[in-house]
């Protein structure tokens, strides 16, 4: 793959450009928003494309919102701009159905979706390593040419991601479960805080902060995603809503002294434990059982450097670190995750050097 056209220089399109440029691919960029194209170019994602200019591209990547994918695809195919085509929208079934409806060539087009994103949007938030080691769904149909599919797989490999082949409908149901419905559920929990008293908010801690973190996302952007995957998301939301309504009914029965309602609550909590435990760890495999060393730190420059200096001295690799600040006080706790057999080594080394390891 030598030349790629990227149509749409938002976060994902620009990040693909950056990744491909690092691998020596010639990248041309286009976007309705000329400012976005210019920023993407300045970041090193490729050169600006003037429609009609140059040779036929090896691949065109359509990086626009789901409801614009099919029309853009048709426009490019009519001008024979590239040998092969893909898109990277977060919803797959509807754009494919629309492309068939518009009479697009379904042999040279294979839809795909990188499972990577950020809370920030736009070319300025792009990163060459956005897709590194991430799953990237590829959704060929029975009409897809083998060569087109290979071209998309090469794109995925060049971006450092892992191709996961999945039918478009299965993809849409999966992202409804792992991304779209959780977003709405987080919003519904956070909506309670919008109405709550200051005293209530004053009692909020890390738990509710984590549950509602993704609810901070842009409502306009998310309306587009949710409506593009409406039926699968609605199905998951109905199941979550039903579970919560049943839990509420069981709790009201318990309140009335009906102890036979307890197992229903416990069952939901247990299913939650199982489901939570199935999420792969950050390294892609099953969640690794790291050991955690807790260290009291002062909230001032140099403390963390000294802490990690000790890890370095004793040859311990830090797998993760989490800072817990004490609200209102310049003191905190660092939780350093390391391989289980490194816990004792690190704990003793910190003790010897006078660190407070509770």
The number of helices, as runs of H, and strands, as runs of E, in the chain is 14, 11
Q: Is residue 204 at the binding interface for a second copy, with CB under 8 A as the rule?
A: yes
Backbone angles phi, psi at 345, to 5 degrees: -55, -50
The SS3 assignment for 28 reads strand
For every residue of 177-206, DSSP letters joined together read IIIIHHHHHHHHHHHHHHHS-HHHHHT--H
Q: Does 354 bind a second copy (CB under 8 A)?
A: no
Options 25-33, 54-62, 73-81, 198-206: segment touching a second copy (CB under 8 A): 198-206
Q: Which residues pair with 6 in a beta bridge?
A: 29, 61
Nearest approach, Cβ of residue 16 and a second copy (Å): 14
Q: How far is the CB of 168 from a second copy (least distance, A)?
A: 13
- Kindly report the three-state secondary structure assignment for every residue of 217-229: CCHHHHHHHHHHC
**357 part of the interface to a second copy, by CB under 8 A:** no
R_g (Cα) of the chain, nearest Å:
25
Among 79, 227, 340, 348, binds a second copy (CB under 8 A): 227
How far apart, in whole angstroms, are the C-alpha atoms of residue 92 and residue 113?
Answer: 8
Q: Which of residues 1-40 bind a second copy (CB under 8 A)?
A: none
Choose among 153, 157, 131: nearest CA to 140.
153
CB 143 to a second copy: min, Å: 22
Residue 7 and residue 297: Cα distance in Å, rounded? 48
The pair of structure tokens assigned to 26 is: 């010639």
Question: In this structure, are strands 291-298 and 47-48 parallel, antiparallel, or unpaired?
Answer: unpaired
- Residue 146 CB, nearest distance to a second copy (Å)? 22
Token pair for 132: 């590194």
Q: Give the footprint of a second copy on residues 236-295 (CB under 8 A).
A: 236-245, 247-249, 251-252, 254-255, 262, 265-266, 268-285, 294
What binding mask, one character per residue, do residues 156-195 give for a second copy by CB under 8 A, x or -?
----x-x-x-x---xx-xxx-xxx-xxxxxxxxxxxxxxx
Binding mask 57-96 for a second copy (x = CB under 8 A): ----------------------------------------
Query: Smaller CB distance to a second copy: residue 59 or 123?
Result: 123
Q: Under rule CB under 8 A, how many of the chain's residues touch a second copy?
A: 136
Q: Which is nearer to a second copy, 78 or 309 (CB)?
A: 309
Binding to a second copy in span 317-336, by CB under 8 A: 317-318, 320-321, 323-329, 331, 333
Residue of the chain from 34, 97, 102, 231 that contacts a second copy (CB under 8 A): 231
Residue number with CB closer to a second copy (23 or 79): 23
Span 109-148, contacts to a second copy by CB under 8 A: 115-117, 127-129, 132-135, 137
DSSP state of 109: B
Q: Helix or strand or coil: residue 46? A: coil
Contact 319, 282 (CB under 8 A): no
Using the rule CB under 8 A, give the single segment among 3-11, 32-40, 100-108, 313-321 that binds a second copy.
313-321
In the complex, the smallest distance separating the C-beta of residue 246 from a second copy, rounded to whole angstroms, is 9
**Distance in angstroms (rounded) separating the CA atoms of residues 294 and 165:** 41
Q: Give the integer Cα–Cα distance in Å for 244 and 118.
A: 29
Residues 309/355, Cβ–Cβ less than 8 Å: no
Residue 341, interface with a second copy (CB under 8 A)? Answer: no
One of 163, 296, 343, 345 touching a second copy (CB under 8 A): 296
If one asks whether residue 222 binds a second copy (CB under 8 A), the answer comes out as yes
Angle (nearest 5°) at CA 341 between 335 and 347: 45
In the bound state with a second copy, the residue whose beta carbon lies nearer, of 25 and 116, is 116
Q: What minimum distance in Å lies between the beta carbon of 341 and a second copy?
A: 14
């Amino acid at each position: 793959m030598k030349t790629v056209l990227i149509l749409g220089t938002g976060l994902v399109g620009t990040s693909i450009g950056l990744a491909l440029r690092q691998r020596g691919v010639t990248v041309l960029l286009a976007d309705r928003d000329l400012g976005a194209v210019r920023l993407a170019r300045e970041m090193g994602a490729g050169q600006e494309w003037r429609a009609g200019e140059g040779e036929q591209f090896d691949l065109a990547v359509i990086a626009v919102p789901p409801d614009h994918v099919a029309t853009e695809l048709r426009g490019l195919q009519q001008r024979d701009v590239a040998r092969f085509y893909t898109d990277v929208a977060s919803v797959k079934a509807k754009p494919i159905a629309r492309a068939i409806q518009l009479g697009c060539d379904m042999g040279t087009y294979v839809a795909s979706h990188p499972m990577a994103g950020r809370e920030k949007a736009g070319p300025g938030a792009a990163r060459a390593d956005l897709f590194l080691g991430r799953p990237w769904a590829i959704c060929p149909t029975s009409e897809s040419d083998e060569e087109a599919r290979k071209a998309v797989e090469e794109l995925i490999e060049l971006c450092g991601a892992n191709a996961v082949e999945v039918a478009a409908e299965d993809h849409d149901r999966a992202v409804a479960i792992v991304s779209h419905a959780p977003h709405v559920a987080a919003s519904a929990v956070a909506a309670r805080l919008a109405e709550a008293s200051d005293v209530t908010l004053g009692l909020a801690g890390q738990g509710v902060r984590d549950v509602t973190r993704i609810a901070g996302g842009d409502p306009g952007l998310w309306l587009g995603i949710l409506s593009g995957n409406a039926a699968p998301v609605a199905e998951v939301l109905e199941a979550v809503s039903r579970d919560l309504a049943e839990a509420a009914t069981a709790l009201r029965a318990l309140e009335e002294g009906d102890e036979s309602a307890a197992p229903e609550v416990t069952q939901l909590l247990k299913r939650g434990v199982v489901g939570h435990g199935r999420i792969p760890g950050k390294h892609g495999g099953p969640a690794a059982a790291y050991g955690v060393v807790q260290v009291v730190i002062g909230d001032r420059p140099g403390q963390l450097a000294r802490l990690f200096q000790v890890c370095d001295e004793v040859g311990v690799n830090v797998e993760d670190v989490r800072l817990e600040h004490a609200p209102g006080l310049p003191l905190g706790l660092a939780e350093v995750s390391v391989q289980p057999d490194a816990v004792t080594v690190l704990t003793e080394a910190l003790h010897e050097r006078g660190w407070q390891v509770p």
